[in-house]
Structure 1
Amino acid sequence: MTDHPGPGHDRSNAGLSAIISERRQLINLGYRLLGSLAEAEDVVQETYARWYAMSPRERDAIASPGAWLTRVAGRICLNLLSSARARRETYVGEWIPEPLPDPADRATGRPDGIGADPADQVTLDESVSMAFLVVLDAMTPAERVAFVLHDVFRYSFAEVAEIVGRTPAACRQLASSARRRIRDSQAAAPPASRQAAVVREFKQAWEAQDINALIGLLDPGATGIADGGGGIAPALLRPIEGGERIARHFAALAARVSGLTLLERTVNGRPGLIAQQDAVTVSVFAFEIAGDRIKRIWAVRNPDKLHPWTAG
């Protein structure tokens, strides 16, 4: 005799599918709040663990599982952000958000897509550009959570208040303050095609060790920032200020490091570069470009932040 599923079976399967379908949304939320894909994935695992730790009766009583998962993930992120500043005081060099490849390049750093899980991919839009994430990282935890949830994910301030633990009016003020920070810190970016052209010219000038060409591509007040932990050079304990100093640094790096291959890649949704040695990505470079000049370069060298580019 074949046992047929009971009347609750379809509802159970539908509920499970709905829960699993929230995974990508939660990954996207966690990455924007934390600037780390690894930490975002940990948050999502903890969120699901709390969901399944409840009894079936408790889960059935939740009217909107997606909203519940978002609240829990948001609170976990808020707690992590509150402790992150202390942890980063011991970080070698400047802390830079974890860079993300184009989804097609995920897991190998090459456009073959091996190992990429669509449910784990972050949507690459303006809210994950390196410049945007760096500004977010300078905010207070409450500002960052209120702004990302409301302005990026379109949650109401009443819903944000449940996560942040403040009144809707206070959350509105937090988001407004965060919005001013974003507006005051970022210049209008040129079209992607122009950004790609500038990055390509920078790559060619770097490979040629052409200091004058590099200087011409860099804003006189440009800043170069690098984190630590490995890569083609040790961490820069302080940012390099000034286009000429940055140009000389990159030219000297090209002369000193042998067997370095530079490749054009999408980094956090914008044109960038990766550096490889023996076909392994050792550094990822993100750029902020205004007009025809590079204003900021972020060099990520920490191997712990390069897993999406190297693991296959």
Structure 2
Amino acid sequence: MDDTTFLAQRFDAHRGRLRAVAYRVLGSASEAEDAVQEAWLRLRRSDADGIANLGGWLTTVVGRVCLDMLRSRSARREDPLDEFVPEAVTDDDPEHEAVVADSVGIALLVVLEALTPAERLAFVLHDLFGVAFEEIAPIVGRTPAAARQLASRARRRVRTGSPVPDDLSRQREVVDAFMAAARGGDFDALLAVLDPDVVLRVDFGALKPERAVVRGAAAVAGRALAFRSASREGRQVLIDGGLGVLSTEHGVPVSLLGMTVSGGRIVAIDILADPARVRDLDLKELD
């Protein structure tokens, strides 16, 4: 076995956790893969034999890469329609799935978008992955005490800003009512299941670079009616421990709707409208 193959095997042993960290920091499966790949490239260029704690070293590298990506993303955001849309993650990596199941999924990712890059990284690394503040400090360029304060501020904002999802049975009732109202063209029934401040985010993926954002129950209901189609069917699926709707046309997946249901109403809808990416997801359909 040559040195590169051996190093790749050592890296693969940490890949699942690195990808989970990057996804929670970035909220994007594709960007998380990019961050992990960059960590691999940096490892290959380093003196791997001199790294005493490879897992910790790789987590630090991924953290720095993610922080740079978050800062770059923030600098690019000038148009309010260029708002980030968290991606659903479903794969066959048991460690990654366990991390996703233990968190609050898309609802948390939406709240994390309101944090500064440094706050977000400190919170995710410490609160979700147990990284010590002494290790976080050099990544964010602060002292351990300052890194602790970053995580503390983020924690307070998450607690006050994150909607508490209803239990799964209640979520199913609300999503069923939404689907029935959309199919029937019932505007008032849609308003009844949508929170007045509901936010709809649409990611078109490779089909269109810009991302659309619609706010308010009336506007979201109008969009739901405008894009309903007799040839499309919707099936409820699990996304990050919450409920979603897989939209198909003639049996072919075309889009995925992630629903955040809290207080008996839908407070957020995140749509992945890239059929190619939707088809690649391994979704669990509900009976």
Q: What's the TM-score once normalised by structure 1's chain length?
A: 0.78
Residue number in structure 2 paired with 1:47: 39
Residue number in structure 1 paired with 2:201: 226
Alpha-carbon distance in 2 for matches of 1:69, 1:293:
41
Q: Map residues 1-312 of structure 1 onto 2, 5 A cutoff.
A: 17-54=9-46, 58-89=47-78, 94-101=83-90, 103=91, 116=92, 123-125=99-101, 127=103, 129-219=105-195, 221-229=196-204, 237-242=212-217, 244-254=218-228, 257-302=229-274, 306=278, 308-309=280-281
1:234 is displaced (CA, Å) by 11
3-state secondary structure, aligned to 1:239 = strand
1:128 is displaced (CA, Å) by 5.5
Residue number in structure 1 paired with 2:285: none
**Given residue 85 of structure 2, which amino acid in structure 1 is its aligned partner?**
I
Root mean square deviation, CA, Å: 3.2
Alpha-carbon distance in 1 for matches of 2:39, 2:234:
39
Alpha-carbon distance in 2 for matches of 1:186, 1:230:
26
Alpha-carbon distance in 1 for matches of 2:127, 2:48:
29
- Kept in 1: contact 2:200–2:220 (CA 8 A): no
Greater CA deviation, 186-195 or 221-230?
A: 221-230
Q: What's the TM-score once normalised by structure 2's chain length?
A: 0.84
Cα distance per residue 1:244-298 (max 9 Å; x no partner):
44334323332xx341121111123211112222433332212222222222222
CA distance 1:70–1:190, change in 2 (3 Å): same
Alpha-carbon distance in 1 for matches of 2:57, 2:40:
11
3-state secondary structure, aligned to 1:138 = coil
CA distance 1:228–1:160, change in 2 (3 Å): closer
3-state secondary structure, aligned to 2:112 = helix
**Given residue 84 of structure 2, which amino acid in structure 1 is its aligned partner?**
W
Q: Which runs of 5+ in 1 are unaligned?
A: 104-115
- Kept in 2: contact 1:160–1:168 (CA 8 A): yes
1:42 is displaced (CA, Å) by 1.3
Alpha-carbon distance in 2 for matches of 1:258, 1:231:
26
Equivalences, count: 281
Q: Which runs of 5+ in 2 are unaligned?
A: 283-287
Q: Which has the higher contact order (CA 8 A, sep 6+)?
A: 1
Alpha-carbon distance in 2 for matches of 1:16, 1:209:
54
**Given residue 214 of structure 2, which amino acid in structure 1 is its aligned partner?**
P
1:224 is displaced (CA, Å) by 3.3
- Kept in 1: contact 2:259–2:270 (CA 8 A): yes
Give % identity.
Answer: 38
- Which structure: larger Rg? 1
- Kept in 2: contact 1:223–1:246 (CA 8 A): yes
Alpha-carbon distance in 1 for matches of 2:128, 2:67:
16
Alpha-carbon distance in 1 for matches of 2:172, 2:31:
30
- Kept in 1: contact 2:28–2:87 (CA 8 A): yes
3-state secondary structure, aligned to 1:309 = coil
1:233 is displaced (CA, Å) by 11
